[in-house]
Amino acid sequence: MGFIYLPPTPYTPMTGLNPTHVSLIAMGDQGSGNFQQWAVAYAMEKVAEKDGRLDMVVLLGDNFYGKSLTGTADLSWRTRFESVYWGRWLSHVPFYAVLGNHDYPDSQRVEIEYSRRHKGSGRWQMPDHTYTRDFGSDEGRPLVRMVFIDTSVPDSQLSAQIAILEQAFMQPGPEPIWRVVAAHHPVRNVGEHNQNSLLVTELLPVLKRLKVDLYLSGHDHNQQLILNEGEPAWVISGGGGKTLSAISAKHSPVNFAKSEAGFAKLDFTSTQLKLAYYTESSGAAARYEWNRACPWMAKGCLVGSMMSP
């Protein structure tokens, strides 16, 4: 296990990938440093190798549990990130992160600094509390526009986050084919934390008005897919490495819910989205498909697909 303590080497990005296809893994609440985090990371590598495609990983917050990071040279960078996510695929893709409540009050500043100074392998991407990236392209349009927001800020600062989100999807230029938001806290949720009333009141109307397709989040340590007519698809993937949370489906209809460690994998093209939930043993727990030609409504568009090994 001595390799854990070796300084990470700068990563070299994958090359030659078809820009009309974007493949990503999304999961949060991973920063425990325990065996479960390592098991999920190994499963991520196995699935990427099997699929033969991975462009990025999206980390959905609570990146470091326990004691706050002391700086960009803190050993936790190696034991909870750099050395955990490795392999032919994971060693060569960027990790786009958002902040969770356990990254506050002190670790959040270090995490942003680690990105801005390109420390470690250079895979860690978090230039600010909120940022926007376009991924892939098809006929001059961005294939995926993803806005990364910080829902762990004080309530008084949430409006500023929402304003940046609005600007990202209303900027001039070709419209993205898929619209995605990544954050730590779910809006809809049937887990232990229940729904976030402030996000339902303040954020949900904006997401609907902007016609956001998917909202990726963690916070609850489980896997969920919630579809409400006229709303984004709520993809919760919080089984990255921490003790699991129970499911309570009494609050809202839920399409998929499982209290199990794992991650979500999303594959986008201009005509289709494929979404799969995987367990820490790299088996698929559920698969879904969304035809882009389907009208903008999660319910009736994102449908279950045939399971395969």
Q: Give the per-residue pLDDT at 56.
A: 98
Task: For 45-68, write each residue's pLDDT tens digit.
Answer: 999 999 999 999 999 999 999 999
> Alpha helix locations (H) across the chain?
35-51, 76-77, 107-116, 158-170, 197-198, 204-209
Residue in this structure with the two tokens 């392998």, named with its chain if needed: 121
In degrees, rounded to 5, the angle at the alpha carbon of residue 287 between the alpha carbons of residues 214 and 179 is 15
- Taking the C-alpha atoms of residue 202 and residue 136, their distance in angstroms, rounded to an integer, is 30
| Domain presence at residue 266 | yes
Using only C-alpha atoms, the chain has a radius of gyration, in whole angstroms, of 18
| Residue 4: CB atoms within 10 Å | 11
Q: What counts of helices (H) and strands (E) characterise the chain?
A: 6, 15
Task: For 273-302, write each residue's pLDDT tens digit.
Answer: 999 999 999 999 999 999 999 987 777 888
* pTM for the whole structure: 0.95
Q: Give the per-residue pLDDT at 306.
A: 62
C-alpha distance from residue 17 to each of 53, 93, 235 (Å)? 8, 12, 26
Q: How many domains does the chain have?
A: 1
- Taking the C-alpha atoms of residue 233 and residue 188, their distance in angstroms, rounded to an integer, is 10
Q: Is the pLDDT of residue 309 over 60?
A: no
| Domain presence at residue 289 | yes
In degrees, rounded to 5, the angle at the alpha carbon of residue 137 between the alpha carbons of residues 136 and 138 is 140
| Domain presence at residue 15 | no
Q: By percentage, how much of the chain surpasses pLDDT 90? A: 83
Q: Give every CB contact of residue 75 below 8 A, 6+ residues apart in sequence.
A: 5
- In one-letter notation, the amino acid at residue 212 is V
Provide mean pLDDT across the span 9-27. 93
Q: Give the per-residue pLDDT at 4.
A: 64
| Domain presence at residue 172 | yes
Provide mean pLDDT across the span 207-213. 96
- Taking the C-alpha atoms of residue 74 and residue 168, their distance in angstroms, rounded to an integer, is 33
Kindly report the average pLDDT of the chain as a whole number: 93
Asked whether the beta carbons of 82 and 120 are under 8 A apart, the reply is yes
At 2, the pLDDT band (50, 70, 90 cuts) reads low
Residue 139 structural domain = 2-7+21-304
| Domain presence at residue 309 | no
Provide mean pLDDT across the span 1-27. 85
Provide mean pLDDT across the span 29-34. 96
Q: Is the pLDDT of residue 252 over 80?
A: no
At 213, the pLDDT band (50, 70, 90 cuts) reads very high
At 249, the pLDDT band (50, 70, 90 cuts) reads low
| Domain presence at residue 78 | yes
Closest CA to 80 of 29, 154, 19, 148: 29
Q: Give the per-residue pLDDT at 253.
A: 60
Q: Give the per-residue pLDDT at 72.
A: 97
What are the b/e assignments for 188-223, b being 16+ CB within 10 Å? bbbbeeebbeebeebbbeebeebebbbbbbbbbbbb
Q: Is the pLDDT of residue 181 over 80?
A: yes
| Domain presence at residue 130 | yes
Task: For 97-131, write each residue's pLDDT tens digit.
Answer: 999 999 999 999 999 999 999 999 999 999 999 99
Cα end-to-end distance, the chain, whole Å: 31
At 250, the pLDDT band (50, 70, 90 cuts) reads low
- Taking the C-alpha atoms of residue 67 and residue 102, their distance in angstroms, rounded to an integer, is 10
| Domain presence at residue 124 | yes
Please name every residue paired with 77 in a beta bridge, in sequence order, or none if there are none.
Answer: none
- Taking the C-alpha atoms of residue 98 and residue 161, their distance in angstroms, rounded to an integer, is 12
What is the CATH number for 270? 3.60.21.10
Residue in this structure with the two tokens 């009050």, named with its chain if needed: 105
DSSP annotation of 203: I
